[in-house]
């Protein structure tokens, strides 16, 4: 009797551990970031290539994990129910006793604990457990093929929408990690890395944080003669300049240098200055830079 009890305990513990292994490995594999998957794809490690191969066939991976989880849960329930029936006079009581034993074990250890640990360190967990999962995948191939066939029949009425998953866009965090990985591998130099990171930092700001201070604005008076305008533009090298009348609080428009000067002949255009000005774009200081860029694109302007 005691020997049977210990055998049952060992089998039950094995079921819980195998179930935790399957649940944790599933979470670890599907929690890998795109940056991690890119690194694994270029790795020479057999384990890393194995991980990539499993992720390329997600339905097979899910079927394998489900087989392992359900088989272990069923076996654990049978073991617990067998011992409960020996100790309890009523089958109903034995059922609830077995349920009270197996449910906490499966939920707390196989689900919550294993999945939490795997989600915190997906790559180390995946590298440690994938070879064993690959062996288990091979062993349960006949069962998996049958399940896949049944699933295919059930999904057929739903069409292709049930079989395909739309591609997920690369998030900002994933892109940043990808840039950092490229920099550490020497594919992107430090200056390029800083520049790309600043692009994201810049887009998170509002106009008031990036605008040129008033005292540093280069603008020209509407009342200046054309020759003076040409001289000022040539000395500063700006292609566009705000034109004001009396003060910077009264911007008449934006002057494009190529509209003012015939570059080929070097002669001033014979048109009134007002006709050369482009309508200025005014935006609040609180406008997000991302929205301003979209406005630039829509209105085909380069200055606000």
Closest CA to 11 of 88, 65, 71: 71
Q: What is the mean pLDDT of residues 277-289?
A: 84
Q: What is the DSSP string of 15-48?
A: HHHHHHHHHHHHHHHHT--HHHHHHHHT---HHH
pLDDT recorded at residue 267: 46
* 8 Å CB contact between 205 and 290: no
Judge contact between 41 and 53, C-beta under 8 A. Answer: no
183-192, 232-241, 292-301: which has the minimum mean pLDDT? Answer: 183-192
The arithmetic mean of pLDDT across residues 267-296, rounded, is 75
The mean pLDDT value for 247-276 works out to: 68
Q: How confident is the model at residue 8 (pLDDT cuts 50, 70, 90)?
A: confident
Length of the chain: 304
pLDDT tens per residue, range 157-181? 776 555 555 555 556 666 667 677 7
At 32, phi and psi to the nearest 5?
-65, 130
**Can you tell me the distance from the alpha carbon of 148 to that of 181, in angstroms, rounded to the nearest whole number?**
37
**Are 94 and 84 within 8 A, CB to CB?**
yes
CA distances from 260 to 34, 232, 256, 280 (A): 51, 12, 7, 17
Alpha helices in the chain (DSSP H): 2-30, 34-41, 46-55, 58-87, 91-104, 114-120, 122-139, 141-155, 172-184, 190-203, 207-210, 226-236, 257-260, 273-276, 289-299
CA-angle at 281, arms to 280 and 285, nearest 5°: 130
Query: How far apart (Å, rounded) are the C-alpha atoms in residues 99 and 198?
Result: 56
- The stretch 188-214 carries a mean pLDDT of 74
* Average pLDDT rounded to a whole number, residues 203-211: 76
For residues 268-281, average pLDDT? 70
* CA 107 to centroid of chain Cα atoms: 29
Tell whether the model's pLDDT for residue 268 goes beyond 50: no
What spatial distance separates the first Cα and last Cα of the chain, rounded to whole Å? 86
For 103-117, what is each residue's pLDDT tens digit? Answer: 888 888 888 888 899
Tokens of 283: 């935006």
- Pairing mode of beta strands 277-278, 267-268: unpaired
Instruction: Of 114-128, 129-143, 188-202, 271-285, give the lowest mean pLDDT range.
Output: 188-202
| pLDDT grade for 264, boundaries at 50, 70 and 90 | very low
Q: Are 212 and 240 in contact (CB under 8 A)?
A: no
More confidently predicted of 72 and 33: 72
**pLDDT range class, residue 265, cuts 50, 70, 90:** very low
Say if CB 37 and CB 55 are below 8 A apart: yes
CB neighbour list of residue 132: distance below 8 Å, 6 or more residues apart: 21
- How large is the average pLDDT for residues 111-133? 89
Residue with tokens 């604990």: 113
Mean pLDDT, residues 56-70 taken together: 86
Residue 51 predicted with pLDDT over 50? yes
3-state secondary structure of 262: strand
Average pLDDT over residues 108-131: 88
Give the residue-averaged pLDDT of 83-106. Answer: 82
């Amino acid at each position: 009797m005691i020997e049977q009890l210990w055998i049952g305990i060992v089998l039950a513990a094995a079921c819980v551990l195998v179930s935790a292994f399957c649940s944790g490995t599933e979470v670890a594999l599907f929690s890998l970031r795109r940056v991690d998957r890119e690194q694994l794809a270029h790795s020479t490690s057999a384990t890393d290539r194995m991980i990539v191969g499993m992720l390329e066939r997600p339905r097979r991976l899910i079927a394998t994990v489900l087989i392992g989880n359900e088989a272990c849960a069923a076996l654990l329930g049978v073991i617990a129910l067998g011992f409960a029936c020996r100790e309890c006079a009523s089958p109903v009581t034995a059922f609830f006793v077995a349920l009270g034993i197996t449910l906490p074990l499966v939920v707390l250890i196989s689900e919550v604990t294993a999945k939490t640990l795997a989600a915190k360190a997906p790559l180390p967990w995946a590298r440690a457990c994938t070879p064993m999962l690959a062996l288990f995948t091979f062993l349960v191939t006949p069962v998996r093929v049958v399940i896949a066939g049944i699933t295919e029949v059930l999904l057929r009425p739903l069409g292709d929408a049930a079989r395909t998953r739309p591609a997920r866009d690369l998030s900002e965090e994933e892109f940043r990690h990808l840039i950092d990985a490229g920099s550490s591998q020497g594919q992107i130099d430090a200056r390029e890395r800083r520049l790309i990171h600043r692009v994201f930092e810049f887009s998170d700001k509002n106009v008031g944080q990036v605008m040129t201070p008033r005292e540093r604005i280069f603008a020209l008076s509407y009342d200046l003669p054309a020759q003076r305008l040409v001289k000022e533009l040539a000395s500063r090298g700006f292609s566009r300049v705000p034109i004001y009348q009396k003060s910077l609080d009264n911007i008449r428009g934006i002057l494009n240098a190529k509209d003012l000067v015939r570059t080929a002949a070097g002669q001033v255009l014979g048109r009134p200055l007002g006709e050369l000005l482009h309508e200025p774009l005014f935006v609040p200081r609180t406008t997000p830079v991302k929205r301003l860029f979209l406005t630039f694109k829509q209105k085909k302007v380069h200055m606000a």
